């Protein structure tokens, strides 16, 4: 028999039911939680870094980044005093670089305003750069055990299924309701474990594509499980339609046998500003030769008439709703031709990308593609050598 639909005017009943979650969930969490570096003796700084990294990123991806980041910047003072390029270099490949800049700015603010200690007061925390209600709640509850709700995508999924709450969790009304339910279901003195348990349940058991209801500690009280429609919740708005984008990247190698490569700092747009990338331009899909605009720009910058020496292949990349295909063309010149006096371009070794130079995961993908082509395709190497002199004719 299907359970009745929850009325939109029954918050008291929802809160009463939600108050039972802790007794069922906490023993499960103690037995089954994953051992993650930020959970071992959690500090406000470590929790803050982990929560920023985990936004829109999987735990398995974050763990090595978190470990390296904390080794290089073990406390807020170390992070606050670091140059932005050093911070972005350690973030290279993790994506959503505005998070790193906001974390860096927030660390400086904590050092300047709060003596290097993340504020215990919620309003003071919300005044920090990049800290919103979710991040403030996560740090205060997990690190300080303050009874603050933490409602991320995993918690939204668990609560909307548990109570069969209809509507988009991102809408103001349902978001408010979920926060109220989460707030009132926190067991006394157990905010840290409880919030982590809810998130852990959503991440490992009550997952989006395949909820493992048989392993769920809330199995007997979950309304969506009883109704057999767990996959109908949460009722999120449809995702934005994806857009296909084709780009051409120029990999200009200078010198041998250990060449340097030309990279540019991104100065426009909203996603990769401040990072370094191989020169890149939009192109027509299916075009077999490098973008003329790209070649002309590079020839002008280097004072050389460039011609492509080969194609290393293509890489795929995703940025929000964009599905990007990047065709990678190679160029070769005898030696590095100057440097960007305005700091907008430079020559680097491949091994410096993401280690000493902050780059996006797109740049790392292109570098890997280049290495694969160089190591596995003798024709590619021969073609590069054959064209080297012709490709480096000086412009008049």
The residues carrying an active-site annotation are 51
Cβ(126)–Cβ(183) below 8 Å: no
Query: What are the CB-based long-range contacts (under 8 Å, 24+) for 110-113?
Result: 110/76, 110/80, 111/76, 111/77, 111/80
Secondary structure of 150-196 in HEC code, one letter for each residue: CCCHHHHHHHHHHHCCCCCCCCHHHHHHHHHHHHHCCCCCCHHHHHH
Cβ(129)–Cβ(106) below 8 Å: yes
Looking at the chain, how many residues does it have? 396
Q: What's phi and psi for 151, nearest 5 deg?
A: -115, 95
* Number of neighbours of residue 176 by Cβ within 10 angstroms: 10
Cβ(247)–Cβ(327) below 8 Å: yes
The beta strands (E) that lie in the chain are given as 243-254, 260-265, 276-277, 280-282, 304-305, 310-319, 322-333, 345-348, 393-394
Rounded Cα distance between 73 and 164, Å, is 43
Rounded Cα distance between 86 and 62, Å, is 18
Tokens of 85: 């390029």
Omega before 234 cis (within 30°)?
yes
Q: What is the CA radius of gyration of the chain?
A: 26
Tokens of 252: 């200009």
């Amino acid at each position: 028999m299907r359970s009745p639909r929850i009325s939109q005017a029954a918050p008291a009943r929802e809160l009463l039911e939600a108050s039972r979650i802790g007794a069922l969930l906490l023993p499960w969490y103690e037995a089954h939680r994953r051992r993650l570096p930020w959970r071992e003796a959690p500090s406000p700084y470590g929790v803050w870094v982990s929560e920023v990294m985990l936004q829109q990123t999987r735990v398995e991806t974050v763990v090595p980044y978190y470990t390296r980041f904390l080794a290089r910047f073990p406390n807020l003072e170390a992070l606050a005093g670091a140059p932005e390029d050093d911070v972005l270099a350690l973030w290279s490949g993790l994506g959503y670089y505005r998070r790193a800049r906001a974390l860096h700015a927030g660390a400086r603010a904590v050092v300047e305003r709060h003596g290097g200690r993340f504020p215990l007061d919620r309003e003071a925390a919300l005044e920090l750069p990049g800290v919103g209600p979710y991040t403030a709640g996560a740090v205060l509850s997990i690190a300080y055990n303050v009874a603050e709700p933490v409602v991320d995508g995993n918690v939204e999924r668990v609560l909307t299924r548990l109570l069969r709450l209809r509507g988009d969790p991102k809408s103001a009304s349902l978001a408010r309701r979920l926060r109220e339910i989460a707030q009132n279901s926190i067991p006394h003195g157990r905010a840290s474990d409880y919030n982590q348990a809810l998130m852990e349940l959503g991440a490992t058991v009550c997952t989006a594509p395949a909820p493992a209801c048989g392993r769920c500690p809330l199995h007997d009280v979950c309304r969506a499980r009883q109704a057999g429609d767990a996959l109908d919740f949460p009722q999120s708005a449809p995702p934005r339609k994806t857009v296909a984008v084709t780009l051409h990247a120029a990999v200009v190698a200078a010198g041998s046998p250990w060449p340097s490569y030309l990279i540019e700092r991104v100065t426009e747009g909203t996603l990769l500003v401040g990072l370094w990338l191989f020169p890149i331009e939009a192109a027509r899909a299916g075009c077999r030769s490098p973008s003329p605009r790209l070649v002309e720009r590079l020839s002008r910058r280097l004072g050389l008439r460039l011609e492509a020496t080969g194609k290393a292949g293509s890489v795929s990349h995703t940025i929000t709703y964009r599905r990007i295909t990047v065709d990678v063309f190679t160029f070769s010149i005898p030696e590095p031709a100057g440097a960007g006096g305005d700091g907008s371009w430079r020559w680097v070794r491949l091994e410096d990308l993401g280690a000493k130079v902050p780059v996006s995961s797109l740049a790392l993908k292109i570098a890997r593609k280049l290495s694969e082509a160089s190591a596995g395709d003798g024709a590619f190497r021969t073609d590069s050598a054959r064209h080297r002199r012709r490709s480096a004719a000086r412009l008049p």
